[in-house]
Amino acid sequence: MSENAVSNWQRWLLKPSVLPLARIFVVLVCLSLVATDGWLIWTNRAIQLRDAEVETSNLASALARQATDTLKKADTVLISMVERLEYGGTGPAALSRLQLLMKQHVHALPELHGLFAYDRNGNWLASSFGTPPVGANNADREYFIYHRDHPNDHSVHIGLPVRSRTTGAWIIPVSRRFEDAQGNFLGVALAGVSIDYFQKFYATFDVRAHGSINLVMNSGELVVHSPFNEKLIGASIADGVIFRDLLPESPTGTQMLTSIVDKVERLYSYRQIQEFPLVSIAALARDDILADWRRDTVVQLTVVSLLAGLLGLFGFYLIRLIKQGLLAETELLATRDALRSFNQRLEKQALEDELTGLANRRRFMRTLEDEFARAARYQRPLALILFDVDYFKQYNDIYGHSAGDDCLRSVALAIRSGQKRPADLAARYGGEEFCLLLPETSSEGALQVAEQVRLAIEAQAIVHAGCPWMRLSLSAGVQVCVPNPEDGPEALIQAADKALYAAKAAGRDRVQLFDPNIAQFIG
């Protein structure tokens, strides 16, 4: 930055001008309004997403709790069935008692769709639906094959949903193996957990338009999906981010992901269920989460834009007013300056003789009054010299009025040279008459000055054919007095005038000090 620019800045900082400040203020106000609103919008968005995280996480926990409770109830029933089958045997009486018990359980537990017992070949032994159909066999079912082929697994087995062969309803097969005392496979006890029960429970949660609730096998197959979609039962999401990347790292978590099933972006919260090989997943669609925020943002942006626009308009209107004000002020100042200089010129003109530039008679009279009063107060001498050009009428007649004017200017120059001190005043008294007012000047001093002026004219040697000595000359009358406070300055003028008259009478081209005797004679 150049030195000039720096000093401009320093000057501006010391005395900042209103207009740029007003502009900066308006722009800053608008910008801060927009920035504050932007910050609020962004914060609200973050709050919405954070609230949704809490919501989906809580939902995933509730789902896990409900799935655990439901499956535990089914398993408790299964344990008692297995105990009866292993120790009570599968004789007709035992089966009849078991079937009664199974009916009571199903009646008491709405989660259960039905209870079943199959022998080692998959044939139906007992069912909560009553006497098994003749020839009914479930040896082809996954859970049956699993228990038959896993002699060492005595735990509960959760299978993929299947359609009930009795009612056609979708059920989650929860099963246990039962065996004889030697550990030989005797058959399978099955509790069919109603998918409809899950769907009804899931429907009590509001996951908005595009949210979803899922119960998924650890292997990635969908067990329950809400909203219900039959085609998705058993569909695998094992390749999705949750099963591939997140679950191996942590049993619970929340992340914004794009669904591999319907490509909708959702906030997913998942939770590994501890007691069963299942995962609960709750998801809210990003668009649903941000729907309210979007609507509010549009309203907010519209209002703020309008406000900022209005503020901007108002601000620039204000700036225009300030501009006009400043312009008016500048014009006013220019007018004032012009008026002032005009007044000064007028004042000067009023006190200055136009032809010679010397003080005019008015100024002379004012100054004389002041100096007379001062000299009277301090009792100091005051000298007045009156000059008159000799034979000036003839000069005009011979050389013309214009040449006469030039001649008077030359005389004025000589008279001006008589002004030695700041208080001295050279003036044109009128016509071809001039005067010098010399405060604090004695007779000798005044006579000396008058003689110097006369000699200056003589030195100019202005040709004057109408004068006996053929050149322009001056006569001067001098009076010096220590004024009496009672008198006015007129006496001083009259005395000087009388001395001038005496100089004329004595032959012109000379200086004459006032002499009361001569004056008496003249008078």
Which of 38, 151, 251, 431: binder of ligand GTP (CB under 6 A)?
Answer: 431
Stretch that binds ligand GTP, among 58-66, 88-96, 156-164, 385-393 (CB under 6 A): 385-393
For ligand GTP, give the closer residue by CB, 352 or 388: 388
For ligand GTP, give the closer residue by CB, 253 or 404: 404
Site for ligand GTP contains 409 (CB under 6 A): no
- Binding-residue pattern over the window 501 to 520 for ligand GTP, x denoting contact by CB under 6 A: ---x----------------
Which of 312, 357, 404, 488: binder of ligand GTP (CB under 6 A)?
Answer: 404
Shortest CB 403 distance to ligand GTP, Å: 8
Site for ligand GTP contains 393 (CB under 6 A): yes
Instruction: Map residue 119 onto helix, strand or coil.
Output: strand
Site for ligand GTP contains 122 (CB under 6 A): no
Shortest CB 383 distance to ligand GTP, Å: 22
Q: Are the CB atoms for 360 and 431 separated by under 8 Å?
A: no
Site for ligand GTP contains 468 (CB under 6 A): no
Query: 73-92 burial, b if ≥16 CB within 10 A, otherwise e?
Result: bbbebbeebbebbbeeebee
Q: Which residues contact 176 (CB under 8 A, 6 or more apart)?
A: 75, 78, 79, 81, 82, 147, 154, 155, 156, 157, 188, 189
HSE toward the beta carbon, residue 308, CA cutoff 13 A: 18
Shortest CB 379 distance to ligand GTP, Å: 35
By Cβ distance, which residue is nearest to ligand GTP?
404
Site for ligand GTP in 123-152 (CB under 6 A): none
Q: Dmax over Cα atoms in the chain, in whole Å?
A: 184
For ligand GTP, give the closer residue by CB, 26 or 426: 426
The Cβ of residue 163 has, within 10 Å, a number of other Cβ atoms equal to: 13
Shortest CB 475 distance to ligand GTP, Å: 7
Shortest CB 439 distance to ligand GTP, Å: 27
Query: 258-288 burial, b if ≥16 CB within 10 A, otherwise e?
Result: ebbeeebebbbbbbbbeebebbbbbbbbbeb
Which of 195, 216, 283, 408: binder of ligand GTP (CB under 6 A)?
Answer: 408
For ligand GTP, give the closer residue by CB, 146 or 399: 399
Shortest CB 330 distance to ligand GTP, Å: 44
The Cβ of residue 393 has, within 10 Å, a number of other Cβ atoms equal to: 12
Which of 338, 380, 395, 356 shows the shortest CA–CA distance to 481?
380
Shortest CB 322 distance to ligand GTP, Å: 56
Which of 170, 364, 391, 514: binder of ligand GTP (CB under 6 A)?
Answer: 391
Bridge-based pairing of strands 112-119 and 185-194 is: antiparallel
For ligand GTP, give the closer residue by CB, 445 or 466: 466
For ligand GTP, give the closer residue by CB, 154 or 393: 393
Tokens representing 131?
A: 């006497």
d(CA 263, CA 259): 5
Helical ranges in 89-159 per DSSP H: 92-108, 142-149
Containing H/E element for 71?
helix 18-88
Site for ligand GTP contains 401 (CB under 6 A): yes
**Phi, psi dihedral angles at 164 (to 5 degrees):** -65, 135
For ligand GTP, give the closer residue by CB, 383 or 408: 408
The footprint of ligand GTP (CB under 6 A) covers 355, 388-393, 396, 401, 404-405, 408, 431-432, 504
